[in-house]
Chain A
Amino acid sequence: MAFDRREFLKISAGVTGAASLGALTGCATASTNKAYKVVVVGAGFGGATCARYLKMWEPKIEVTIIEPNAHFVSCPTSNGVLAGLAKLEDITFTYDHLKKVVNNWVTDTVTGIDTTGRTVKTAGGATISYDRLILAGGIELMFDKVEGYNAEAQKTIMHAWKAGPQTATLRKQLEDMHDGGTFVMSVPMAPYRCPPGPYERACQVATYLKAAKPKSKIIILDGNPDIASKKPLFLAAWTKHYGYGTPNSMIEYRPNNMPRSVDPVKMMVGTEFDDVKGDVINVVPPMRAAAICELAGVRSDSSNTWCPIDYRSFESLAVKNVHVLGDSTLTNFPKSGSVANNTGKMAAAAIVEMFNGREPDSAPVVTNTCYSASTEGTAFHVATVFRYQAAKTGADGKVTPASMVAQKGGGISKEESELEFAYMESWAKNVWADTLGLPG
């Protein structure tokens, strides 16, 4: 657990790069007028937070954000839109406050990254140079992994796993469904964005159907062998509120049922075992780190899916001066909004320390707290404190990679409660404010 300074310097020379640390210190002195440039691609929970804290902690760093969307739409609490508890407008926020804090704002899509020349190219034709690049693009959905899930099918079958127009369309489909209809939804194989999200979605859709269309059914096709997050709490909620375990259960849960195909005309989802018919179909395809990560060569795990990083800086283990945040990373954190927000601060803290010629925190401690709604007025949580543990080499020469170790005492709520629903609403307001710099 204790961190050896020599080991840090060794790792730092290999990963962070002793040369780049020197260059950073040079830029901090008055002898050069050249601004130190950080370019952040993606202004979600990770990227927006990172940009805001970089400017707060070291105003001398020049921060540019490149973000294709005009507004921020929150994935957390977007299942509440499906339940009719909120409108899409309620989870949509302006970037205006963040725009005032950063040096440059570019509304565009990144189409090329040169990690040798340290430049980023955009669809609009701009070339933007960087000293450090932050990739915070979230996830890329792999529709080609589900047969028939083509552009045409995507007009009928929503994933709604990136909050926005998809969320509103799925809500409209549920409103249009007849009483007695079947809502078929899927859970991707872990790891995926928001581990409890699909099970919360089942609760939130059930809340709506129970009140508006009580003869309806929900079929959950889970690619995983079991409920992947907060299992006892979701089972308790399904049993208490939606008849789970009785013949009249609104929710039918099918583990090991990965959707392999979709048919938007017959309104069918195919798994290895069955063809399942639905009146509304909601399939979340397999996912990987955002495409911009591939452009930078940092989607560097063995399956070319996620981005391994150094936990002390969130710098890629594959490419120097490129940091990756949030859901795109390969870590032992859950892919939550809270974690994405905090990875933004971890990267910002490390970059600010290096800019000022100091070493980044060699043993960061960081937390995750994640609420899920079980009805229109109850919720529960999981909370964990993580501490950095350096890579270790055993007597047999086997290397245990660095990790963030979950501390004793973490875990899930005893039971759902109205108090936790109020905390969930407060959490959302606070994390939106912290991410986007919203005024109080």
Chain B
Amino acid sequence: MKKTLAISLMFAGALGALSATSAQAIDTKARFMAANCAYCHGPEGKSRGAIPSLAGLEKGYFVEQMKAFRDGSRPATVMQKHAMGYTDAEFDQLGAWFAAIK
């Protein structure tokens, strides 16, 4: 009885670990796109100096700003050029990625 319980607990543990892993499956495309930004916005989106940080920005705010850069409603030096090269789906992926960085 005890042994069965122990085994089923082990199973539950293993399953738990498995589902935790798959739930946290990394969006490697987003990870690369976000890493691409680091040369200006700092490693993990944490900037040193005048360029703003991206880490921890709320996703909706990030996407809204990228769209504003793209249509020119938010003036920018560099960012309109970058915003015009990405799709809405990519804005979402990037927004989710940066929002998750503490």
Contacts and interface: CB of A to CB of B under 8 A. Distances in A.
23 contacts: A57-B31, A341-B38, A341-B39, A342-B39, A345-B36, A365-B33, A367-B36, A369-B40, A384-B81, A384-B85, A410-B81, A410-B84, A417-B77, A420-B77, A423-B78, A427-B40, A429-B49, A430-B38, A430-B42, A430-B48, A434-B39, A440-B42, A440-B48
A387 B84 CA distance: 12
Interface residues of A, number: 45
Contact of B32 (A349, A369, A422, A429): A349
B32 A385 contact: no
A364 B35 CA distance: 12
A369 B39 contact: yes
Contacts of A417: 77
A409 B80 contact: yes
B72 to A, nearest CB: 10
Contact of B51 (A385, A407, A427): A427
Nearest to A420: B77
Interface of B: 28-29, 31-33, 35-43, 46-51, 70, 77-78, 80-86, 90
Nearest to A363: B29
Contacts of B70: 409
Contacts of B47: 426, 430
A383 B49 contact: no
B50 A342 contact: no
B29 A361 contact: yes
Interface of A: 53, 57, 337-338, 341-342, 345-346, 349, 352-353, 358, 361, 364-367, 369, 381, 383-387, 407-411, 413, 417, 419-420, 422-423, 425-427, 429-431, 433-434, 437, 440
A422 B50 CA distance: 6
Which of B36, B70, B80: most chain A Cβ within 10 A?
A: B36
B28 A434 contact: no
Contact of B38 (A337, A385, A434): A434
A365 B43 contact: no
A360 to B, nearest CB: 9
A386 B36 CA distance: 12
Contacts of B86: 365, 385
A369 B38 CA distance: 11
Nearest to A342: B36
Contacts of A369: 39-40, 78, 82
Given A409-B70, A429-B49, 19 more contacts: A341-B39, A345-B36, A365-B33, A369-B39, A381-B78, A383-B78, A385-B85, A386-B85, A407-B85, A409-B84, A420-B77, A422-B50, A425-B50, A426-B48, A426-B50, A427-B51, A431-B40, A433-B48, A434-B38
A433 B84 contact: no
B79 to A, nearest CB: 8
Contacts of A345: 32, 35-36
A233 to B, nearest CB: 13
A435 to B, nearest CB: 8
Given A353-B28, A365-B85, A367-B82, A427 B77 contact: no
